[in-house]
Amino acid sequence: MHKKNAIVIGAGIVGLAIARSLSEKGYAVTVFERNEKAVSASIRNFGMVWPIGQPNGNLYERALRSKSIWKQVCSEAGLWHNEVGSLHLAYSDLEWQVIQEFAEADKNVRPVKAISAADALHKSEAVNPANLKGALWSADEMIVESRVAIEKIPAYLTRKYGVVFHFNTAVTEISYPSVITGAQHTFNADEIYVCSGADFETLYPEIFAANYFTKCKLQMMRLIMQPDGWRIGPSLCGGLSMVHYKGFEAAASLPLLKEHYKQTMPDYLKWGIHVMVSQNAEGELTIGDSHEYGLVFDPFDKAFINQLIIDYMKQFAVFKDWQMIQSWHGIYPKITNGQTDFIHSPEKGVTIVNGLGGNGMTLSFGLAEEVVAMQ
């Protein structure tokens, strides 16, 4: 019996997730990646698997499924991961009201709880106690070191499933059942999946232009390994994160909080800044981020955006060492019509998987299961 074969274009988190799901279904899988390793949005993030940001229903369930797969992959591949949970910290009565409303609305759906200031300080030594009203504790969230994981998962997929990877190999044309690489080599497959992030615009410019896509540029930083093995515990977020993520729309007072920020923090909303921190295995802190939207970006990072992030973080976090060791930006495709993913077949046998916005680490493994199940 002929074993079906599939080609996946892109070795970022979406491509790796699709390759895994296809392999689980019995496909022989070949992955093409234009660089020597994935270096785009999949490694330029917090490493957060973040169910708290997803609204109830399919997206929250997809996030939990993704987390389950992440745990399996990390365990089998020997990758560090840490189920630390998260704290959203309230420093105003309105922020505290939103947290209490959200916790009450979702207490039977998620492992969330509005906790006192004292309890928040007990969960993390990194929380700033000054004027702290309370916090939202969520047990769902997990951290991986995305830079390491995205680089190491290909070898794991090869060992477990026999997935073949062609790095430094750009696909320049697709005409089912063939893909053509820059060296004019032709490869054929029963199914082709295009998971190339922002690069999908190059292969399918008309489809990109016709389907409400723009791009998002984010700025992030990494702080030095904290001294003496000091750990912050849960990932920490300020109130701005509650107006950024759809998951918090269960709170009735969220529109009031958004309006409050418009009046008091207009620059933060203008540049799409909400502030979070995660900690990797070595003790380094990843902080960010901002969101600029457009089709073309200034290639240079804006120092004032990084400063806004740091200034706000200092309102809710107290670290042992604030020395910055890296700053960077990432760019990912974003759908502007409210859709949370883009699954599209430009021709029979070819499927584009894109448009997860900033939720790739959280949703890709779960989405891949759904996409492959449709075949």
Tens digit of each residue's pLDDT (9 = 90 or more) over 128-158: 999 999 999 999 999 999 999 999 999 999 9
Residues 244 and 178 in one domain: no
Quick one: pLDDT at residue 183?
82
The strand pair at 112-116 and 142-144 is best described as unpaired
Peptide bond into 289 cis (omega under 30): yes
Residue 323: count of CB within 10 angstroms of its CB: 8
On whether residue 29 sits in a domain, the answer given is yes
On whether residue 110 sits in a domain, the answer given is yes
On whether residue 34 sits in a domain, the answer given is yes
Q: How far apart are CA 82 and CA 279, in angstroms?
A: 9
Q: What domain range is 185 assigned to?
A: 5-46+147-211+340-373
Residues 117 and 260 in one domain: yes
Query: 183-204 burial, b for 16+ CB within 10 Å, e for fewer?
Result: eeeebebbbbbbbbbbbbbebb
Quick one: pLDDT at residue 182?
87
Enumerate residue ranges in the chain where pLDDT < 70. 1
Residues 180 and 275 in one domain: no
Residues 169 and 303 in one domain: no
CA-wise closest residue to 6 among 129, 346, 25 = 25
**Helix (H) or strand (E) segment spanning residue 148:** helix 146-161
What angle separates helix 93-106 from helix 254-264, to the nearest 10 degrees?
150
Residues 206 and 217 in one domain: no
The CATH number for 197's domain is: 3.50.50.60
Residues 185 and 303 in one domain: no
On whether residue 59 sits in a domain, the answer given is no
On whether residue 166 sits in a domain, the answer given is yes
283 Ramachandran zone, left/alpha/beta (phi>0; psi -120 to 50): left
pTM of the complete model beyond 0.85: yes
Quick one: pLDDT at residue 88?
98
The CATH number for 235's domain is: 3.30.9.10
Residue 160: count of CB within 10 angstroms of its CB: 14
Q: How far apart are CA 100 and CA 11, in angstroms?
A: 41
Residue type, 224: I
Residues 321 and 175 in one domain: no
On whether residue 311 sits in a domain, the answer given is yes
First and final CA of the chain: distance in angstroms? 18
Residues 131 and 220 in one domain: yes
21 Ramachandran zone, left/alpha/beta (phi>0; psi -120 to 50): alpha
Q: How far apart are CA 11 and CA 160, in angstroms?
A: 17
Residues 169 and 269 in one domain: no
Quick one: pLDDT at residue 184?
85
Q: What angle do CA 238, 341, 365 make, to 5 degrees?
A: 80
Quick one: pLDDT at residue 1?
58
On whether residue 174 sits in a domain, the answer given is yes
Residues 280 and 132 in one domain: yes
On whether residue 298 sits in a domain, the answer given is yes
Q: How far apart are CA 361 and CA 144, in angstroms?
A: 9
Q: How far apart are CA 151 and CA 153, in angstroms?
A: 6
- Give the distance from CA 332 to its chain's centroid: 10
Q: How far apart are CA 201 and CA 220, in angstroms?
A: 24
Count of domains for the chain? 2
Residues 331 and 350 in one domain: no
Residues 274 and 357 in one domain: no
